[in-house]
Structure 1
Amino acid sequence: MPPPTCPPGTARTRPVEVGTGGHRPGIDGLRAVAVLLVAAYHIWLGRVSGGVDVFLMLTGLLVTASLLRAATGGGVRYGAFLARLAVRLLPTAAVVAVFTLVGTWLFLPQTRWREAPDGAVAALLGHTNWRLALNAVDYLARDGVPDPFQHFWSLSVQWQFYLLWPALVAGTALLARRAGRDPRRPLFWALTAVFALSLAYSVALTRENQPWAYFDTGARLWELALGGLLALLLPGLRPGRAVRALLGWAGLAALVLCGVLLQVSTAFPGYAALWPTLAAAAVIVAGSPGAPNTPAGPTTAPPTGADRLLSSRPLRYLGSISYALYLWHWPILVFYLAATERDLATPVGGAAVLAASVLAAAATTPLADRVAALGRGSGPGRGRGPGRRAALRGTAVAMAFLLPALGAAGAWTGAQAAERARWDTLLADGHSYPGAAVTRGVTAPPGLPVYPPPALAAEDAPATYADGCNQTTADAEVIVCEYGSDRPVRTVALVGGSHAAHWFPALEALALEHDWRLLNIVKGACLFTDAPQTYKGEPYTSCARWNRGVMAELRRLRPDTVFTTGTTTSLDSSAGFGEEQVVEGYVERWRELGELGIDVVAVRDTPRFGFDVPECLARAAPSDPVGQADPGACTTAPGDSLAPRSPLKGAALPANVTALDLTDVFCDADLCRPVIGNLLVYWDASHIGATFMRTLAPELDRRWTRAAPRRR
């Protein structure tokens, strides 16, 4: 996200200063190039450009220079510093957040409504990056329509930087003054330490868990520290004309090509992010005016240098509105793509998105400037009393924008809670929503709205996710959670990946009915086998470690039965298998359990739809409360993911294994339907909802008893 157009505490009419190098009009142009790269790559290429890394570096440069001037002058006033930033940044952010909430309601499917209030709150309170980091490593996170608030992650990183940096600069300056030294040298070494430690952490974390690292402030801090180091070094850098021309154009070319030559979204922010940040640093050094009255002074800029282009009036203007342009372009693009049902913009449509974003930024930036001026007030603002009054005034103005936006998000959250309560009442009668009971001849009353509604479908996951009992794809620790009876007559362990996990609600119902203890031992996307597995095309090493730990736990716990998936379906060939099968290593693992005296129930995997079922229903029949106006719109054929005959039939299974197949509950001969007995079966593209699964418990009990009566 672009840094503030001016260093904190300066008016818009005051020239930007870096170190002691004088006015830097080229920085506005560099901002313009960076924000245009971000927007263009998002709009037409669906990629990440590296432009955000430039913004982070520029933020470090400008803020470090501003804080250093304050520290060597009257001192850094922490409250006033944050108040000036808040009044400068929050009004535009609040307006964009409210616009995004309204646009989500108007243009996005109901399946995206539940997340919108949380997205707005995270954006405005500065923790979007951590929200996205948690989502990035969530195996069950939704694909499809992008989060219209996700671009606020870089603003969140910057807010966390703003909280830390004044203390670092002011503390270093204070220690230097007490030692009678110039604060620049100790500050240089302090920033060097931050740069080195953060970069090392970034490289290691990117290698180990890149999705998390992308949003981790600690893994990004080195980019801001690099800007701070450049602010300290720039006054002493006086390259000649030829060097400046070469640096400028080479840096600008490298910056433009970064997103083409590197896969930024999967390689950053490790050492690969040095490319755009160093490229931008080269451009800044190329435009360095040097010391006054020297051959490298302001009057000797190379006539063919990149800084001449960056100092042009159009680019300087775009740079001046770059903060607002960055905030506006993403939600406008998301709503355009949702309305046109496209993954990428057309040339004309993309141009319209960019034009609309520029117009919105051009309209909101002057208003934000006036609000910022109001927050600063008039007068010199010097002295402790006036400084405190200015901080309070700025905070009050910022809150005048922040609180209504948070109120709008809170009101939507309240409306969703009321809707959930209404649905709970509707569901409680026990007859209107028989779900899987229709397979036993129970009739579902016609004309009722489907439950859960698409907007609330994502909340219908098994309770084990909210309880923190299902291991993520990133970690290998074995988590064992106990449910069911306190005085069990039998212990059943549910083991496997997420397609084992969605049987939990049915098993919990049986555990409570039959006085079982139910152990939940689940890890996302991890099959219960020693065979090598992949996740998103990469070796799934944490799964292998988890599997070894699971066997150690089962040897210790010795449950009576392990309930797990006996086959695996997939629509994704990158997972290592392209059709339903008994995966390599399953039978060997079951035989190993038999040697421990543990029975195994191997249930056939459930069909996959290949698309988000609730989102499809929301799009296909928005005016139909039942969501079945077109029965073929959101169905799938059994053969799309299932074998014609269960691979468990005829397989040489160990004597301790009972095979179950409940496919006929989900599918008839031709179709697998998204709604059965007025209940929405799936809460995403392939995972069964908890409400429907609970209605399946009696049928699971009947078939289990019939298949293995003596083991029950």
Structure 2
Amino acid sequence: MVVATRSVQRTGVPSPRSPQRPSAGSTQRAPAWFRPDIEGLRAVAVLLVVLYHAGVPGIPGGFVGVDVFFVISGFLITQLLLRELARSGEISIPGFYARRFVRLLPAASVVLVATLVAAWVWMPPVRFRGIAVDALFTVGYAMNYRLAVEGTDYLASAQTPSPLQHFWSLAVEEQFYVVWPLLIGVIGLIWGRTRGRRRRRHSAQHRRTVVPHRLVAILGAVIVVSFALSIWQTAASAPWAYFGAHTRAWELAVGALVAVLAPRLPDVPVLYVVVGLVGLGCVVVAAVRFDAGTPFPGSAAALPVLGTAAVIATGHLRPLPVLRLPGLEHIGRVSYSWYLWHWPVLIIGPHALGVEPALGWNLALAAFALLLAALTLVAVENPVRHRGVFKVSSWRGLGLGVGLSAYTAVVGVVAMTVPLRQLPVGENAVEVNVAGSDGEVAGSDASRALGELIAASAATTTVPANLTPSLVDAPRDSPPIYPDTCHRSIADVGIKTPCLYGDPAGTATIVLYGDSHAGHWFDALDAIAKQRKLRLAVVTKSSCTAASVRVYEPTLKREYVECRQFQEAATEYIATLDPVLVVMSSSGAGGRVASVADSGQDQAWANGWAAAVRTAAATGARVVVIEDTPWPKGDVPECLSANAAAIGACASSPEQAIRVPTRRRMVAAAVATAGATVIDPTPWLCTPKVCPPVVGNLLVYRDGSHLTTAYSAALAPVLAEKLP
């Protein structure tokens, strides 16, 4: 497809992502439009991203390097398209995508395949199929939407980052460029027809003025709408704002606008240098002052975006000397490959080396990724993009792109079906009996028997052959309240009713109320409710505490107003049930009460829990508060799959496993004073010295904090002893 009056078959226009320049030892001259200062700016962007990901202190906002890349890409792509339109009066759509494919896909394909191979060899086996799925989303330039969905899924958002996660930014760019060249081409087509009808004499001059003028209006609209969406979406759902193309389009459009307007700026040397320095300073300030708690992108993104735009615009005639330093130019030249390599190396490297991630190791791995980037530039990128066969016809470049994408997709599909690395397994472990032979919950000696089993399991060294659930199945092991949508997600506001379990014919009701750490008690309470012939009503929501407090949600990067609305609805609903017992529990990981100083956080939580207990007790029900379960070191299935013959590496001590102990004690005292029965589940998961990740044949945790359904059900006997 050519959006113009005639086609352009040659694809010799340099790539927008990294303009053609002489290779080492070459006598080829750089084109007149080549901007060394932009090469230096690319170096600044990639350094910010890599050092931020490596954990270098002092740049907690290094993620803004991606925003710098977006502006640069918008500028370079638009500059290329306008140059083509001015030269020939048309935009060759096949030629455009051929250049993109030839420039981007060879290196990306190498990194994708290498990452899959390295992940199979070194990553925890339970992670591999998820990484293979990530590869397929990456091939389809949809990784950003996969991450947006996972970011709003409370359970998925807690998982270890994927080694292919960073491909989200490339997906955003390509989604923008599905539309952008077509739009410019259509404008050129309309102009061409107008010129033909009116037979303008000064067609070249007209081409240089009319099309850009129309683009300014369109770009202005894109910037205003997308920026407004970014502000709104950041407040509504930070993951969708961060990864969405609709909230990032304005950043690329700002770069495009600079490409249109910069050649028309008057030459004011001193002013340009000052504005350029201020722009670069804005990027640095954002990198230093922003952090993970900054609502982003939103309005905050304007600082690095407009700063980058100022550097590029003023550098058109007065480039900043600091950006032309040889070292920055060299880094800028390999910035694309370094960006591709650095994240998989940082994620997989510690597993390959058998070390814990630390600053020193991360810097060494980042340097290794830089070496891989240099090799990729020399051995893959330059040979392919400078190969004459792809400059003769755009269709050959398209064929290369389709072939590489198909090959990588096939590799991803095959990776999803290949057997996982064989894990060493031990003998069958003793099976934990949930109920007696009569099917009822076991008797009063359950606590003693469980304690003996935990103590014996602490000495286990190898994953048992009859582990339940298996490590592969564990991430999908969740109680029925999740598929039934009775457990509400972060985005949900209202409760779902009736959501009754236990004995449907029961004459009285007990209530399970709280967040996902209340939800993981469902299987135990369901067994107890059936035994006692009671209905069980489930009122739970992800990351929404049962305490009467206004909480800050780090995933959303704002006050969790959906939780407050849910709490109000839940309180009213529970009162209508006339329950005989309300069981409350929530994560004790150290969440924050919104608008309360750090010094008052513990007391605010204690007060909120006491208020919640009094509200529940006002219904006439007895109230039980189950303290939070001990936390493991990290994702347990991942850890066990990486340490299948030494599972003690995945165990923690009770001191390590209990989060914010001072707050825990204050809350327990406050709810007891308010009239609740307090249950500490720590003895059901730990000895005084260790909290084993496997008890008997049962896997204790399905992720980094939630009990498996099997272990929850196994705790029914000991929980039944404690319930009034």
Which category of TM-score, normalised to the shorter sequence, fits these structures? 0.7 to 0.9
Q: Is the counterpart of residue 59 in structure 1 residue 87 in structure 2?
A: no
Shift of 1:248: 3.3
Shift of 1:227: 0.7
Look up the SS of the partner of 1:520 in the other structure.
Answer: strand
Residue in structure 2 matching 1:542, options 562, 568, 571: 562
Residue in structure 1 matching 2:233, options 196, 200, 205: 205
Q: Is the counterpart of residue 365 in structure 1 residue 377 in structure 2?
A: yes
Shift of 1:208: 4.1
Contact 2:15/2:103 (CA < 8 Å) preserved in 1? no
- 1:315 & 1:637 partners in 2: Cα distance? 45
- 1:524 & 1:312 partners in 2: Cα distance? 50
- 2:619 & 2:102 partners in 1: Cα distance? 63
Give the equivalent residue in structure 1 for 2:252: 224
Change (3 A) 1:375 1:268: farther
- 2:674 & 2:30 partners in 1: Cα distance? 76
Contact 1:142/1:684 (CA < 8 Å) preserved in 2? no
Give the equivalent residue in structure 2 for 1:31: 42
Shift of 1:523: 1.3
Shift of 1:650: 6.1
Give the equivalent residue in structure 2 for 1:42: 53
Change (3 A) 1:535 1:51: closer
Q: Is the counterpart of residue 399 in structure 1 residue 418 in structure 2?
A: no
- 1:107 & 1:614 partners in 2: Cα distance? 17
Give the equivalent residue in structure 1 for 2:274: 246
Look up the SS of the partner of 2:546 in the other structure.
Answer: coil
Structure 1: segments with no counterpart, 5+ residues? 290-300, 382-386, 708-712
Question: Could you give the per-residue CA deviations for residues 76-107 of structure 1, whole angstroms, max 9, x where no partner exists?
Answer: 45455334423432222222123223333444
Q: Is the counterpart of residue 623 in structure 1 residue 645 in structure 2?
A: yes
Could you tell me which amino acid in structure 2 is paired with residue 361 of structure 1? A
Could you tell me which amino acid in structure 2 is paired with residue 36 of structure 1? L
- 2:41 & 2:354 partners in 1: Cα distance? 33
Shift of 1:323: 0.8
Q: Is the counterpart of residue 678 in structure 1 residue 697 in structure 2?
A: yes
Change (3 A) 1:91 1:51: same
Contact 1:48/1:265 (CA < 8 Å) preserved in 2? no
Contact 1:638/1:672 (CA < 8 Å) preserved in 2? no
Shift of 1:333: 2.5
1:499-578 correspondence runs (5 A): 499-509=517-527, 518-536=536-554, 539-554=559-574, 558=577, 560=579, 563-565=582-584, 570-572=588-590, 574=592, 576-577=601-602
Could you tell me which amino acid in structure 1 is paired with residue 80 of structure 2? S
The count of aligned residue pairs is: 656
Give the equivalent residue in structure 1 for 2:328: 315
Residue in structure 2 matching 1:121, options 136, 149, 152: 136
Look up the SS of the partner of 1:464 in the other structure.
Answer: coil
Contact 1:620/1:633 (CA < 8 Å) preserved in 2? no
Shift of 1:489: 3.5
1:428-507 correspondence runs (5 A): 432-434=431-433, 439=447, 441=449, 448-449=464-465, 450-452=467-469, 456-480=473-497, 482=499, 484=501, 488-490=505-507, 492-507=510-525
69-78 vs 5-14, greater mean Cα deviation: 5-14
Shift of 1:544: 1.4
1:380-395 correspondence runs (5 A): 381=393, 389-390=395-396, 392-395=398-401
Could you tell me which amino acid in structure 2 is paired with residue 62 of structure 1? L
Residue in structure 2 matching 1:276, options 279, 301, 304: 304
Give the equivalent residue in structure 2 for 1:333: 346
Shift of 1:521: 2.5
Shift of 1:189: 0.6
Give the equivalent residue in structure 2 for 1:192: 220
Change (3 A) 1:628 1:323: closer
Look up the SS of the partner of 1:682 in the other structure.
Answer: coil
TM-score (norm 1): 0.78
Look up the SS of the partner of 1:268 in the other structure.
Answer: coil
Shift of 1:59: 1.2
Structure 2: segments with no counterpart, 5+ residues? 1-12, 23-27, 196-205, 436-441, 594-600
Change (3 A) 1:173 1:697: farther
- 1:512 & 1:71 partners in 2: Cα distance? 74
Look up the SS of the partner of 2:539 in the other structure.
Answer: strand
- 1:101 & 1:602 partners in 2: Cα distance? 48
194-203 vs 540-549, greater mean Cα deviation: 540-549
Give the equivalent residue in structure 2 for 1:298: none
Look up the SS of the partner of 1:266 in the other structure.
Answer: coil
Question: Could you give the per-residue CA deviations for residues 103-134 of structure 1, whole angstroms, max 9, x where no partner exists?
Answer: 33444445644642233333332222223223
Give the equivalent residue in structure 1 for 2:150: 135
Could you tell me which amino acid in structure 1 is paired with residue 614 of structure 2? E
Contact 2:479/2:520 (CA < 8 Å) preserved in 1? yes
Look up the SS of the partner of 2:174 in the other structure.
Answer: helix
Give the equivalent residue in structure 1 for 2:169: 154
Look up the SS of the partner of 1:526 in the other structure.
Answer: coil
Question: Could you give the per-residue CA deviations for residues 12-53 of structure 1, whole angstroms, max 9, x where no partner exists?
Answer: 779998xxx944333222212221232233332373422211
- 2:391 & 2:249 partners in 1: Cα distance? 35
- 2:614 & 2:166 partners in 1: Cα distance? 47
Shift of 1:55: 0.7
Residue in structure 2 matching 1:604, options 600, 612, 626: 626
Shift of 1:164: 2.6
Look up the SS of the partner of 2:609 in the other structure.
Answer: coil
Give the equivalent residue in structure 2 for 1:587: 613
TM-score (norm 2): 0.77
Change (3 A) 1:488 1:173: farther
Could you tell me which amino acid in structure 2 is paired with residue 54 of structure 1? V
Q: Is the counterpart of residue 91 in structure 1 residue 106 in structure 2?
A: yes
Look up the SS of the partner of 2:110 in the other structure.
Answer: helix
Shift of 1:355: 3.0
Shift of 1:487: 5.7
Give the equivalent residue in structure 2 for 1:261: 289
128-137 vs 462-471, greater mean Cα deviation: 462-471
Look up the SS of the partner of 2:228 in the other structure.
Answer: helix
Question: Could you give the per-residue CA deviations for residues 248-305 of structure 1, whole angstroms, max 9, x where no partner exists?
Answer: 333334434431133377243122222222222222223214xxxxxxxxxxx5xxx5
Give the equivalent residue in structure 2 for 1:696: 715
Change (3 A) 1:196 1:540: same
Give the equivalent residue in structure 2 for 1:288: 316
Could you tell me which amino acid in structure 1 is paired with residue 79 of structure 2? A
Give the equivalent residue in structure 2 for 1:293: none
Look up the SS of the partner of 1:577 in the other structure.
Answer: helix
Could you tell me which amino acid in structure 2 is paired with residue 41 of structure 1? Y
Identical counterparts, % of pairs: 30
Contact 1:255/1:275 (CA < 8 Å) preserved in 2? yes
- 1:258 & 1:456 partners in 2: Cα distance? 42
1:644-659 correspondence runs (5 A): 647=669, 651=673, 653=675
Give the equivalent residue in structure 2 for 1:710: none
- 2:302 & 2:689 partners in 1: Cα distance? 54
Question: What is the alpha-carbon root mean square deviation over aligned residues?
Answer: 4.3
